[in-house]
A = this chain, B = another copy of it.
């Protein structure tokens, strides 16, 4: 195993000959930078097609316990390193999907292994506290050095939760509570509020709504699901709320070539948002909050301009609605900034910012006025998990120490350049290359070809994910360097040539 780990020297010599040594290479790299991911492997290595026989066997076993329709393959996490995911059949793949965008600094990062082998941290692993009532001594400190240290502009408060869906559910609740307190003009609920809410009736359980966007994804629990509109299979058969759904701009790419058309489309959507807010207020179901992703991820990597988000923020403020930016997939550095909304350049970008995935714990930041007035309104048994805060602290240290956001910007540029070149080379197959940092995507001519590309790439050692109807999304870890970009582009070129 150790012999497969790449040394700096070896990586350097390898990169110099990259276009020769990579199997089936046709795409000529423009740069061959030195890799600094010392705990990485030197490239993909495939022994079977994927899933291999051992994965098939385990899938069969698991099939007795669970639906296994979504299982790709089984993994050997012990042997996985950096950007490489190793499966149980000994296949080693360059991972550009990273557990649905949730691995921040690669597999088995040495600093994390060191952290978790420190006996001082054992107690955090075996005694999970009820954080809302009995937090550990270091909880304020760990929050301060982790989540608070990367708080979005205008926010100093953060509530941790166990996962992304719980984060959004509780953020919605915070917006509803805020809205009703505003309506009441004071914080004391009436007797009628209290007696009606216990039986699900208004005014205690008011007819309020959250405005969301077509193509948006905010999770799969019932509150979140009412704001999720990416794929029918997520929502089918589950009761929902009559909440307004606005169109998300359908832009033309590259954005800078279609500024006029895109501005028109965004103006149309903003107008529709304002109309819906008015309409739902008239229907007696006022919009307490607007929720949006900075880049619609699951829905197909749909971008919108800073102007659009500024306009939306203004409409929300003007209409008295809270503004919730869902950074569950975009947060954590993958766009080259800690939060994607930082690209908008606003001092007051949001009232609430939710996160999970790369942040390892779920949760949401909020402005002071969204702090609930009484305890137990936003509450559950665990309220997160200190063992995840512990790992997050170290992840943030690594990000700072290794300047990983800079690396993301560098890799992102290389990736976009490569995608543009491939798009020019395969115009019938590829289109709409788009991205910020390494949060990139490209469209394939059709769904079937997209899926063939994903499978062929996987068999050549590149793990990618789909999104939307026919897009491929790139979601590497923050340790995905230029070196890995070129490695990927070479193999991807090979796949495209094979399938064209």
Q: Are A99 and B128 in touch, CB under 8 angstroms?
A: yes
Copies of this chain present in the complex amount to 2
Residues of chain B contacted by A222 (CB below 8 angstroms): 169, 172-173, 221-223, 226
Cβ of A302 to closest chain B Cβ, rounded Å: 15
Q: Are B166 and A221 in touch, CB under 8 angstroms?
A: yes
- Interface hits, A202-227 → B, CB 8 Å: 204-209, 214, 219-223, 226
Task: Report the bound CA distance from A257 to B112 in whole Å.
Answer: 59
Check if A496 is an interface residue, CB within 8 A of chain B: no
Cβ of A265 to closest chain B Cβ, rounded Å: 20
Task: Report the bound CA distance from A108 to B76 in whole Å.
Answer: 29
Cβ of A46 to closest chain B Cβ, rounded Å: 16
- Interface hits, A12-40 → B, CB 8 Å: none
Task: Report the bound CA distance from A176 to B61 in whole Å.
Answer: 27
Check if A109 is an interface residue, CB within 8 A of chain B: yes
Q: Are B126 and A116 in touch, CB under 8 angstroms?
A: yes
Query: Given A116-B122, A380-B163, are A245 and B75 neighbors across the interface (CB < 8 Å)?
Result: no
Residues of chain B contacted by A113 (CB below 8 angstroms): 122, 126
- Interface hits, A189-205 → B, CB 8 Å: 189, 193-195, 197-201, 204-205
Q: Are A77 and B206 in touch, CB under 8 angstroms?
A: no
Task: Report the bound CA distance from A157 to B219 in whole Å.
Answer: 24
Task: Report the bound CA distance from A133 to B460 in whole Å.
Answer: 19
Task: Report the bound CA distance from A123 to B106 in whole Å.
Answer: 12
Q: Are B200 and A243 in touch, CB under 8 angstroms?
A: yes
Which of these, B99, B120, B195, B372, contacts A67 with CB under 8 Å? B372
A381: nearest chain-B partner, CB-CB: B100
Interface string of A156-172 (1 = CB under 8 A from B): 11110011111001101
Check if A377 is an interface residue, CB within 8 A of chain B: yes
Q: Are A236 and B133 in touch, CB under 8 angstroms?
A: no
**Stretch from A137-145, A403-411, A436-444 at the B interface:** A137-145
A204: nearest chain-B partner, CB-CB: B236
Residues of chain B contacted by A179 (CB below 8 angstroms): 237
Task: Report the bound CA distance from A125 to B116 in whole Å.
Answer: 7
Q: Are A375 and B176 in touch, CB under 8 angstroms?
A: no
Residues of chain B contacted by A448 (CB below 8 angstroms): none
Q: Which of A67, A80, A195: most chain B Cβ within 10 A?
A: A67
Query: Given A158-B66, A163-B382, A377-B236, are A127 and B107 neighbors across the interface (CB < 8 Å)?
Result: yes
Check if A117 is an interface residue, CB within 8 A of chain B: yes
Query: Given A122-B113, A134-B99, are A193 and B236 neighbors across the interface (CB < 8 Å)?
Result: yes
Q: Are B232 and A67 in touch, CB under 8 angstroms?
A: no
Residues of chain B contacted by A164 (CB below 8 angstroms): 380-381
Query: Given A71-B135, A127-B107, A134-B72, are A199 and B245 neighbors across the interface (CB < 8 Å)?
Result: yes
Q: Which of A159, A173, A241: most chain B Cβ within 10 A?
A: A173
Query: Given A127-B80, A205-B238, are A66 and B157 neighbors across the interface (CB < 8 Å)?
Result: yes
Q: Which residues of A contact B (CB under 8 A)?
A: 54, 58, 61-62, 64-78, 80, 85, 88, 99-100, 102-103, 107-109, 112-113, 116-117, 119-120, 122-130, 132-137, 139-140, 143-144, 148, 156-159, 162-166, 169-170, 172-173, 176-177, 179-181, 189, 193-195, 197-201, 204-209, 214, 219-223, 226, 229, 231-243, 245, 356-357, 360, 371-372, 374-382, 387, 391
Q: What are 5 A-B residue pairs whose CB atoms fall within 8 Å in the complex?
A: A72-B134, A99-B133, A99-B134, A200-B241, A221-B223
For the A-B complex with A194-B232, A209-B239 known, give 20 more contacts whose Cβ atoms are closer than 8 Å: A62-B139, A64-B156, A67-B378, A71-B132, A71-B134, A75-B137, A100-B381, A107-B127, A117-B122, A125-B125, A163-B163, A165-B169, A169-B220, A176-B237, A195-B232, A197-B236, A197-B238, A199-B245, A204-B235, A204-B237
